[in-house]
Amino acid sequence: MRTIDWNDENGTIIMVDQTLLPAEYRMITCDNIGSLCEAIQSLRVRGAPALGAAGGFGIALAAGCSSTDSMEVLLDELRKVGDVIKATRPTAVNLAWGVDRVLDAARDGYDVSGIRSIVLKEAKAIADEDVELNKRLGAHGAALLEDGDTVMTHCNAGRMACVDWGTALGVIRSAVEMGKEIKVIASETRPLNQGGRITAWELMEDKIPVTLITDSMSGHVMRRGMVDSVIVGADRITQDAVFNKIGTYTHSIVAKEHEIPFYVAAPVSTFDFVRMEDEVEIELRDGDELRFMVGKQIAPLEVEVYNPAFDATPMENVTAVVTENGVFRPPFLLDEVRFLQ
Ligand code: MRU
């Protein structure tokens, strides 16, 4: 079952509600842009590639909901909806990429019904391609892992963060599929615990051995020689940095200090070919994510909170970036990754 998909029976988006994991696996439906934006903002659907699919399906949903019979009006409506969807989460570039890819395709339509079918076809293509690209990416990355390795990962870059298979966890899955024995150390990823709630659950479902640690234990486990390599996903890759879940940068410094390879796995759609690190907006989230945990107050209500969702890891801390087009070792030109190796 895919993490996010289109329901042809009623023209809606269906997705796993990831906020309920691991206690409950429930599919929910988004039948309007308001509910889709809420789902994105509250991380019911999350992870860069899954957000790319959400952005594409969002435009298809808006096209289906529109009552206009004017092509110009429809295109204008879709552009405005696209801006609303893109604003929900600014750092993960795939969201804007998915929206823009479908909006670009819409311009090829000759009439309203043509536009509707083009945008739906394009949105479905994004979702289908994601699965196929992750498999290719996984095969490239699997070659970097040795039989018997223990690999540390952060946040969730698994099938739940994508349409299926995963990027960082996709590499691990591919290595296991090739017959390698791989153990995983997953950091819990405060404040929303995607590592504990989602990565640990996904790997256990696949019977891949996983040990959960707190984020602050990464120094200890790497110093103790318990980690052979680190592999994470990415929300945006600029010429000079990798944006990923907050805490990734810290793990990269520890890995560098201990000469442990630090790999990033992401599809080409996660690359931002025009921006540098300081031009990227880092999403700031509600302070209540730190003041409360599963509904229980864990900090003074009035305490000031700084809660960036992502950080930037400088490219010099990255050993290699794995994409569907191959493995790239810095320094590389972003343009190089566009082409098949
Ligand atoms: O805030 P989230 O859960 O959407 O953040 C997700 C991450 O940071 C992932 O590591 C990243 O999107 C890569 S997913 C393949």
Which of these three, 81, 109, 134, is where a domain ends? 134
CATH of the domain at 104: 1.20.120.420
Probe residue for ligand 1, chosen from 235, 284, 285 as the CB with the greatest number of ligand atoms within 8 Å: 235
Measured in angstroms, how far is the CA atom of residue 80 from the centroid of ligand 1? 25
73 phi and psi, to 5 degrees?
-60, -45
Backbone CA torsion sign across 39, 43, 45, 51: positive
| pTM above threshold 0.85 | yes
Whether 34 and 123 map to the same domain: the answer is yes
167 DSSP 8-state letter: S
Q: Give the model's pLDDT for residue 63.
A: 98
Distance CA 262, CA 75 (A): 43
Q: What is the 3-state secondary structure (H, E, C) of 80-98?
A: HHHHHHHHHCCCCHHHHHH
Whether 218 and 289 map to the same domain: the answer is yes
What domain count does the chain have? 2
Whether 94 and 167 map to the same domain: the answer is no
Measured in angstroms, how far is the CA atom of residue 158 from the centroid of ligand 1? 9
Q: Give the model's pLDDT for residue 341.
A: 57
CATH of the domain at 236: 3.40.50.10470
Which of these three, 86, 111, 134, is where a domain ends? 134
CB 247 near ligand 1, within 6 Å: no
Whether 197 and 126 map to the same domain: the answer is no
Whether 108 and 153 map to the same domain: the answer is no
Whether 275 and 175 map to the same domain: the answer is yes
Measured in angstroms, how far is the CA atom of residue 218 from the centroid of ligand 1? 19
Concerning whether 228 is annotated as a catalytic residue, the answer is no
Whether 106 and 153 map to the same domain: the answer is no
Whether 170 and 230 map to the same domain: the answer is yes
Whether 171 and 292 map to the same domain: the answer is yes
∠ Cα 256 314 189 (to 5°):
75
* Domain region containing 71: 4-134
Which of these three, 101, 134, 167, is where a domain ends? 134
Q: Give the model's pLDDT for residue 77.
A: 98
Alpha helices in the chain (DSSP H): 33-41, 48-65, 71-88, 93-106, 112-142, 168-177, 194, 200-205, 218-223, 248-257, 288-291
Whether 98 and 50 map to the same domain: the answer is yes
> Per the structure block, which two tokens stand in for 263?
């790999």
Q: Give the model's pLDDT for residue 329.
A: 96
* Per-residue pLDDT tens listing for the chain (341 residues): 899 999 999 999 999 999 999 999 999 999 999 999 999 999 999 999 999 999 999 999 999 999 999 999 999 999 999 999 999 999 999 999 999 999 999 999 999 999 999 999 999 999 999 999 999 999 999 999 999 999 999 999 999 999 999 999 999 999 999 999 999 999 999 999 999 999 999 999 999 999 999 999 999 999 999 999 999 999 999 999 999 999 999 999 999 999 999 999 999 999 998 999 999 999 999 999 999 999 999 999 999 999 999 999 999 999 999 999 999 999 998 889 988 65
